[in-house]
Amino acid sequence: MASSIVPRPRALSALALPLALALGGCGGAPQPAPAPAQPIMGKSTPEARAAFVRTVEQSLAQCDARTQETNTKLAEVVDKLAGGKPDMAGKPTPPLPEVIRLLAKEKVTVELKILGTAEAPMLMLEDSFMKEGQKLAGAKPKEMQAFAKRAQVVTPLTTTLRDQIFSVNAALGTSLQSQGACVGMGRALPMSLGAWENGGEEVPPEVFAAYAKFLQANARNQAVVAASVALVGVTQAGFAGKDPKAIEVLLEGIKVVKDNPEQISEAQARAVYKAAGQSLIDMCQANLDKYYAEHPEAKKPDGPSPCSKEGLAADREKWNRGPGAPESDASAPKTGIGVIDETVERLVRVEGALKDASAAIDSLKNGDYVGGLKGALKLVGKNVPFGNVLQSVLDLFG
């Protein structure tokens, strides 16, 4: 068995963009003379470089546009939940914490349910006052009059509450939809850049300014998703009898974060792709170790691991010798670039942040508002301003 396999170059899918860049966009088997000389492995073509820059810029535009939309929705929610807007009677609406306190004073219980899926949730309110009204069919006039008198106080509150929760639902839905415009490419780009470097080529410097902006837009998007999830959590907590102060703390924190979004520098963007490149190597090595553990009869290659940068450099050297390199054996283990290719494809499909958001919403669906808030915190992390806000909210629940 060959100690190291250099796979036959082939046309790559969009998911394997990083490998295409590392190979300089070449495809098909090396052709013998007098065909044009094969590209030098590890050196991308100008066309591949320009295409990559366009990909970054297009992804940035899509993510930024959706993030602006979610920011607008979030601003509307904060404004509405803060109260003060005229209701149907022209009176200023109370803020959400006050609505919850007043309903509790009227002995009206409210439950916030989440219907639909974690990917497309729908918030629904159920209140005990509405159920009381449904049971009044055939009641005595005195009971009807007493209910009507209470309705003058309760109905404006439940109407305001439904309007406020509807705005939260709209922000939550919009933010989850916008995740798709940011998260997918947010996962793919650092892996693409890391694979490019592992292929022996420096990433074009013009990429990093756009990539830093992309990371920043992605971070803002995750903050909006986390804020929407957290708003549902603190509202559920208020209905469960917890201090509605948590809502006030969260709303004030959202205002601060909205006006002072997290900033991502080019240096941080470089650090992200460096870490991504190393993770590709680590995952490649894990796959290779697993193969040899399952196939003890397989001979390990001499010299550096095919997954290491040194091993990849050896593969490039073999490639650049020209035609005549051995063809890959279908029965042989895939190593070196072949394994990294599969790793990139798998990582591009990773839904990390989407899964974190879904897990948080699943907690809320089960009435676990603390779990939902912890899920929101996981989305943004503890070392950013909004992470501190969410931690402060969690601290109020002990």
Query: Does the predicted model carry a pTM greater than 0.85?
Result: no
pLDDT of residue 37: 41
d(CA 249, CA 229): 15
Torsion-angle region of residue 326: left (phi > 0), alpha (psi -120 to 50) or beta?
A: beta
Strands (E) across the chain are located at 110-116, 121-127
Per-residue model confidence as pLDDT tens digits over 145-176:
998 999 999 999 999 999 999 999 988 888 88
d(CA 319, CA 217): 39
DSSP calls for 157-226: HHHHHHHHHHHHHHHHHHHHHHHHHHHHHHHHHHHHHHHHHHTT-PPPTHHHHHHHHHHHHHHHHHHHHH
Per-residue model confidence as pLDDT tens digits over 247-263:
999 999 988 777 666 67
- For 115, the 3-state DSSP assignment is strand
307 has a pLDDT exceeding 80: no
- Looking up tokens 């992200």 gives 272
pLDDT of residue 75: 87
- For 125, the 3-state DSSP assignment is strand
Exposed (0-12), middle (13-18) or buried (19+): which is 66, by Cβ within 10 Å? buried
92 has a pLDDT exceeding 80: yes
d(CA 13, CA 15): 5
Do 56 and 40 meet the contact criterion of CB atoms below 8 Å apart? no
Question: Of the spans 70-79, 187-196, 316-325, which averages the highest pLDDT?
Answer: 70-79
Spatial neighbors of 243 by CB under 8 A, at least 6 apart, are: 396
Query: 92: closest CA among 111, 107, 79, 77?
Result: 79
pLDDT of residue 352: 63
Provide the 10 A C-beta neighbour count for residue 316.
22
99 has a pLDDT exceeding 90: yes
Question: What average pLDDT does the chain have?
Answer: 74
- For 126, the 3-state DSSP assignment is strand
Portion of the chain with pLDDT greater than 70, in percent: 70
Tokens of 98: 């006050």
- Looking up tokens 């929407």 gives 228
Instruction: Give, in degrees to the nearest 5, the angle at Cα 230 between 92 and 59.
Output: 105
d(CA 216, CA 64): 9
pLDDT of residue 63: 82
pLDDT of residue 246: 92
